[in-house]
Amino acid sequence: MEDGISSGIKKGAWKRMTPQTELLELIAETAENNCNLDTSISLKELPAEGGLYAELGEGFGNTTYYNKSTEKTIPVLFLCRHADQKRGLEELHEISHYFQRLRQYPQAKTFAWLDTEIAKEPNKIGRDEDGVYHFSCILNCKIYY
């Protein structure tokens, strides 16, 4: 995870993590530690040799409170490239259903993780000329900060 989103900041420089940045890093780390995955989850790009990738989509507000704190839904897109069609779908299924079934979400420093729902079930979205399959799924993460 060290090479993730915040890797552009030099050591010793002031670093402020946003709820969105922390969510992306936390969801990837949690999936890697709790799901049966063949590779780690890249936060930079979908590896050409195959693997997993996650990125945030456009979030939207659910509720704003009098103290200006807010509840938002942040979509997280997971992409997978895998030579084995069955295994590629299994990996995304493990990730999506793990988070949807959690009763207690990991603790964050900048937000409270309230819930996660599957917005788009794991599915095949294409295939390369060399036969490598592409898959995707979207999880809607509800957070409060």
The per-residue pLDDT for range 76-100, each reduced to its tens digit, is 999 999 999 999 999 999 999 999 9
* pLDDT of 61: 87
Q: How many other CB atoms are found less than 10 A from the CB of residue 82?
A: 21
Residue 6 predicted with pLDDT over 80: no
Collapsing DSSP to helix, strand or coil, 7 comes out as: helix
* pLDDT of 66: 84
Mean per-residue pLDDT over the chain, rounded: 90
Query: Span 47-51, mean pLDDT?
Result: 91
Interhelix angle 19-34/85-101, rounded to 10 degrees, is 120
CA separation for the pair 26, 111 (Å, rounded): 11
